[in-house]
């Protein structure tokens, strides 16, 4: 190594020297000695690497305390960071799906601050069941005899199959063998639950006679799966829940339905496409119905199962239930969300997911026009910025072919280079509160359907 290199290495201060520097005292008080020491060792190595690669020290070596503070702040940043969801997908799986109502947030915070009656029966002063209070509310809303809550709908499907059909056959239409996000496939779940899949019908057409022909002494369940994330159109035929229930009762075989999303209210009253409702399937005689808590319901991530009491009891007693159960924060948030459904007149005002889904296109356009001048002032030299109509989507596999008309701000590079958009999108993802749009048709789209904080957005984009 050259003499110059040796000289540069000698300029790297020791950890002890740096820790004694008064500039590090605030960092030691904020982060503690172990984290600060670890950070300094990382910075030392970065300095050594720079010397070996470029025969020079990094510029930050003139201010070690500032460099350490920046790195420590980066390392201590929240793992789950708030972002502006301007993607045009309301229930965005990668961005956390439904935003919770303030009532649910308050209930969750209270459950974190206090001891709660999670599994405590105030009447008998003994141990109760953690699903009980919420189950009673679900029964009131759906007409079911009982209910069970697990950590998501995939878990709900797994528990139903494992508890009721291990070692048996489960009959499902070929047109309903769905795959959802993360390669979750109905056939795979059946294998994990110890069931044997019995496919009937064809991809586009299944008849009641197909189910009947598949029944044997080994049949454990008849299953319907709502095709929530795709649609089969054209020459099609499917068996209704009512028809399948009648066959199940005739043969003494339970009928279960996986709704995926599901909605506790008639979405058409809000001008949205119809979505299957658990209470209608319960009224039709389905033995068990499962659906998600964090999609159209607008609550926390949860898998909800409603149906016949004797079957719910089997689910509650199965060993998997303990592994799949939810904690007190989820139960508190879910209970508060369900209470909103008991006051349907207030639902769209209090439930963020429903508010975003029903936001009028004209109101979104007005928001876009308000934001436009500030964005032109900040980015107008590089981009042509306009207010344009767009189509949002519900997301999370809900109503996949339906779109919601709205408006977006679009940015098109004046130099025609797509790399400009990529750079801008990347820069916005690196903001203190990242702004997430979508790139399409040579433009960066900021779909404003889910925007609730105009001032905060302008602060991030125009500071």
pLDDT per residue over 293-308, tens digit each? 999 999 999 999 999 9
CA distances from 226 to 117, 137, 164, 289 (A): 35, 24, 20, 11
With cut-offs at 50, 70 and 90, classify the pLDDT of residue 5.
Answer: low
Determine the Cα–Cα distance for residues 445 and 428; give it in Å rounded to an integer. 12
> Domains of the chain by range and CATH?
3-76 (no CATH), 84-93+356-462 (3.90.1150.110), 102-346 (3.40.640.10)
Contacts of 2 (CB under 8 A, 6+ apart): 55
pTM over 0.85: yes
CA distances from 317 to 203, 220, 255, 306, 328 (A): 36, 18, 20, 15, 20
Determine the Cα–Cα distance for residues 259 and 275; give it in Å rounded to an integer. 9
Kind of pairing between the strands at 435-436 and 84-85: parallel
Tell me the β-bridge partners of 148: 305
Tell me, rounded to whole angstroms, the distance of Cα 168 from its chain centroid.
33
DSSP label at residue 237: B
pLDDT of residue 182: 57
HSE toward the beta carbon, residue 255, CA cutoff 13 A: 23
Kind of pairing between the strands at 303-307 and 383-395: unpaired
Q: Where are the alpha helices (DSSP H) in 143-288?
A: 153-165, 186-192, 208-214, 241-251, 278-283
pLDDT above 90 covers a percentage of the chain that reads 71
- Give the mean model confidence (pLDDT) for residues 153-180: 90
Mean of the per-residue pLDDT values of the chain: 90
pLDDT of residue 434: 95
Query: For the segment 370-420, what is each residue's pLDDT rounded down to a tens digit?
Result: 999 999 999 999 999 999 999 999 986 555 557 899 999 999 999 877 689
Does residue 201 surpass a pLDDT of 70?
Answer: yes
User: In 66-140, which ranges are E strands?
Assistant: 84-85, 120-121, 126-127
Token pair listed for 323? 């592994």
């Amino acid at each position: 190594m050259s003499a110059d290199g040796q000289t540069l290495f000698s300029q790297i201060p020791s950890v002890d020297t740096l820790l004694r520097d008064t500039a590090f005292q605030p960092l030691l008080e904020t982060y503690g000695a172990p984290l600060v020491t670890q950070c300094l060792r990382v910075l030392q190595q970065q300095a050594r690497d720079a010397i070996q690669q470029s025969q020079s020290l990094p510029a930050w070596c003139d201010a070690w305390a500032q460099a350490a503070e920046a790195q420590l702040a980066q390392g201590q940043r929240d793992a789950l960071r708030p972002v502006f969801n301007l993607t045009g997908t309301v229930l965005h799986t990668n961005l956390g799906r439904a935003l919770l109502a303030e009532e649910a947030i308050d209930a969750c915070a209270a459950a974190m601050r206090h001891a709660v009656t999670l599994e405590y029966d105030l009447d008998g002063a003994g141990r109760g069941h953690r699903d009980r209070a919420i189950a009673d509310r679900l029964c009131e809303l759906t007409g079911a005899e009982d209910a069970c809550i697990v950590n998501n709908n995939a878990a709900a499907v797994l528990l139903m199959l494992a508890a009721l059909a291990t070692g048996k056959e489960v009959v499902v239409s070929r047109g309903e063998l769905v795959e959802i996000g993360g390669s979750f496939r109905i056939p795979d779940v059946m294998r994990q639950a110890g069931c044997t899949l019995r496919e009937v019908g064809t991809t586009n057409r299944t008849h009641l006679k197909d189910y009947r022909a598949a029944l044997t002494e080994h049949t454990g369940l008849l299953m319907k799966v709502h095709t929530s994330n795709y649609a089969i159109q054209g020459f099609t035929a499917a068996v209704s829940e009512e028809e399948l229930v009648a066959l199940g009762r005739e043969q003494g075989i339970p009928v279960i339905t996986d709704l995926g999303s599901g909605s506790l209210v008639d979405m058409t009253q809000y001008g949205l496409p119809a979505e299957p409702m658990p209470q209608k399937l319960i009224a039709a005689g389905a033995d068990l119905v499962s659906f998600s808590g964090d999609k159209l319901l607008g609550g926390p991530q949860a898998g909800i199962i409603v149906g016949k009491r004797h079957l719910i009891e089997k689910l509650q007693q199965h060993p998997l239930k303990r592994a799949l159960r939810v904690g007190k924060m989820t139960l508190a948030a879910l209970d508060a969300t369900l209470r909103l459904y008991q006051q349907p007149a207030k639902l769209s005002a209090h439930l963020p997911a429903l508010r975003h889904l029903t936001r009028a296109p004209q109101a979104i356009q007005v928001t876009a026009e308000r934001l436009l001048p500030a964005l032109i002032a900040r980015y107008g030299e590089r981009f042509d910025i306009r207010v344009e109509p767009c189509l949002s989507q519900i997301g999370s596999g809900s109503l996949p072919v339906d779109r919601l008309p709205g408006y977006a701000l679009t940015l098109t590079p004046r130099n025609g280079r797509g790399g400009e958009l990529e750079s801008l999108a990347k820069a916005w993802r690196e903001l203190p509160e990242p702004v997430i749009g979508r790139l399409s048709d040579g433009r960066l789209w900021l779909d404003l359907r889910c925007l609730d904080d105009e001032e905060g957005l302008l602060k991030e984009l125009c500071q």
